[in-house]
Amino acid sequence: MADTAAKPGLRPQNTHFSSGPCSKRPGWSLDALSDAPVGRSHRAKVGKAKLKEAIDLTREILEVPADYRIGIVPASDTGAVEMALWSLLGERPVDMVAWESFGAGWVTDVVKQLKLKDARKIDAPYGELPNLAEINFDHDVVFTWNGTTSGVRVPNADFIPADRKGLTICDATSAAFAQNLDFAKLDVVTFSWQKVLGGEGGHGVIILSPRAVERLTTYVPAWPLPKIFRMTSGGKLIEGIFTGETINTPSMICVEDYIDALKWAKSLGGLKALMSRADANAKVIAGFVAANDWIANLAKDPATASNTSVCLTIADKDVLALDADAQAAFAKGIVTLLDKEGVAYDIGAYRDAPSGLRIWAGATIETADMQALMPWLTWAYQTQKATLAKAAA
C-alpha cells in the first residue's frame, strides 16, 4: 500500500455529521431567527403564541393524536425523560429495557436514585436488541426507540400490546421526525429538537397519552418532586404547560429556530418526507459498508439498524488483531484525519460505545453530501492503514 492515499476530488458541501446537536436544515442562516421575540417575556402574548405555534406544528408534523398533550420542558431530552420517570414511576413494577448508554442511564436513575425495588433490567450488548418478548406489559416499561449511541432501533411497535396495563415511556430523541412512532402504543414520548431537526440544545419535548395523564392525576409518588418536574397541582394537570406556558424560561431564539425547522419539514411534505430523506442517507452508508469489508455496521440485524445515528466499527482483520486501545486509536485516527481535512466533523463513536465511527444520517443531511463523504472514509482508512503498516515494519 502506498504511503499516501489519493484524496477524493469531491467534498461534502455540509460537513456537519455530528449526532447531536445535529446539522441545521439545508439553506439555514441566522436570518431564520429574525422574528424571534428577543427581549420579551415568554409569558407575554407574543411569547406564548410562539410556544403554542411550536407545539401545534409539532403535533402536525409528528402526527400526534389530538388527545395527547405536548409540552416544551427544560434540560433537553434528558429533562423530559427524568420528568416522566420521577412523576410516573412507582405505582407498579417497571421493566427497564436498555441496549446502549442512555437506556442504561435511565436504569441507573430508577434503581439508584428513585430506589425502586420492583425494577427489572432487560438489556443487550451494543449492536443488539434485548429479547423484547421478555417484557411484562403489566408493568410500566421504559425504553429508547432508537439507541443513539449504538445505532440500534426497534423496527416497529408490534411488540407492545394494545391492552397493556402499564405505561410505556419511550425516549425517542433520535427517532422523532425520522422514524414512524406508533403513538397508540406509546404513553410518554420524549425528544430534543437538537436531533433530527437540527435545533439548538437545552430544550426537551414531552408528549403524554390520556393514560399517562390519568396516572399523573391519580398517583402521587413517594418522593418529593423538584419544581421543574411538576406537571400537576392539587391533583389536576397543569394544562398551561401544554399550551405554551412553560415550567421555566425558554430561549425564544431556540424556539424560533425550532419553528423554522418545523416549517421547513412541512414544506418538504411532513413526516414521510423527513423519513424518506433519512432512509436515503442511511442507504448510502449501507451500500458503502456492503462494498467494503474493512468496515461494518454495529447493528448486527439490518432490520434494527438506525437511519439516523449510524454506528460503524472497523472490521479490518489486521486492526482487529490489535488490543482494544490500539483499535480505538486506529478509529480515532480516521476521525482526526477527516476533521483536519474539514470533510466531516464529530463522527467518532460515543465514549461508552465500542470504538468506531458514528455518522448522522438524519433529514437535515443532503444525500449528495453523504455520497461525497464515503470516498473520504476510504481515504482516511487507507491513510491510517499505511501508517499502521509503516509502524509495524
Q: What is the CATH number of the domain that holds 322?
A: 3.90.1150.10
Q: Indicate if the pLDDT at residue 157 is higher than 80.
A: yes
Q: Which of 137-141, 146-150, 388-392 has the lowest mean pLDDT?
A: 388-392
Computed from CA positions of residues 128, 150, 77, 185, in that sequence, does the dihedral angle turn out positive or negative?
Answer: negative
Note the pLDDT tens digit of each residue in 304-332. Answer: 999 999 999 999 999 999 999 999 999 99
Note the pLDDT tens digit of each residue in 115-138. Answer: 999 999 999 999 999 999 999 999
- Are both 141 and 223 inside the same structural domain? yes
Burial of 11 (0-12, 13-18, 19+ CB in 10 A): middle
- Are both 260 and 284 inside the same structural domain? no
Cell of 232: 400537576
- Are both 160 and 40 inside the same structural domain? yes
For position 198, what pLDDT does the model report?
98
Q: Which residues lie below 8 Å from residue 233, measured CB to CB, with a gap of 6+? A: none
Q: Measured between alpha carbons, how far is 373 from 368 in angstroms, rounded to an integer?
A: 9
Give the residue from 245, 267, 289 where a domain finishes: 267
Give the residue from 226, 242, 267 where a domain finishes: 267
- Are both 238 and 296 inside the same structural domain? no
- Are both 274 and 382 inside the same structural domain? yes
Q: Is residue 15 domain-resident?
A: no
Across 45-50, average pLDDT: 98
Q: Is residue 5 domain-resident?
A: no
Q: Indicate if the pLDDT at residue 64 is higher than 70.
A: yes
| Short-list 304, 263, 283, CA closest to 365 | 283
- Beta bridge partners, 120, equal 95
Burial of 356 (0-12, 13-18, 19+ CB in 10 A): buried
Q: Is residue 142 domain-resident?
A: yes
For position 393, what pLDDT does the model report?
83
From residue 46, give the alpha-carbon distance in Å to each of 42, 49, 51, 249: 8, 5, 9, 14
- Are both 34 and 167 inside the same structural domain? yes
Q: Report how many domains make up the chain.
A: 2
Q: Is residue 73 domain-resident?
A: yes
Q: Is residue 6 domain-resident?
A: no
Q: Indicate if the pLDDT at residue 4 is higher than 80.
A: no
For position 3, what pLDDT does the model report?
54
- Are both 244 and 303 inside the same structural domain? no
Across 274-286, average pLDDT: 98
* Mean residue pLDDT across the chain: 97
- Are both 205 and 75 inside the same structural domain? yes
Q: Indicate if the pLDDT at residue 1 is higher than 60.
A: no
- Are both 316 and 249 inside the same structural domain? no
Q: Is residue 21 domain-resident?
A: no
CATH number of the domain that 179 lies in?
Answer: 3.40.640.10
Note the pLDDT tens digit of each residue in 71-116. Answer: 999 999 999 999 999 999 999 999 999 999 999 999 999 999 999 9
Note the pLDDT tens digit of each residue in 343-381. Answer: 999 999 999 999 999 999 999 999 999 999 999 999 999
How far, rounded to the nearest angstrom, does the alpha carbon of residue 217 sit from its chain's CA centroid? 29
- Are both 104 and 38 inside the same structural domain? yes
- Are both 174 and 321 inside the same structural domain? no
Q: Is residue 23 domain-resident?
A: no
- Are both 282 and 250 inside the same structural domain? no
Cell of 10: 469531491
Q: What percent of the chain has pLDDT over 90?
A: 98
| Short-list 189, 188, 230, 233, CA closest to 211 | 188
Range of the domain at 56: 30-267
| Angle (nearest 5°) at CA 73 between 218 and 259 | 130
Note the pLDDT tens digit of each residue in 5-46. Answer: 899 999 999 999 999 999 999 999 999 999 999 999 999 999
Give the residue from 235, 267, 299 where a domain finishes: 267
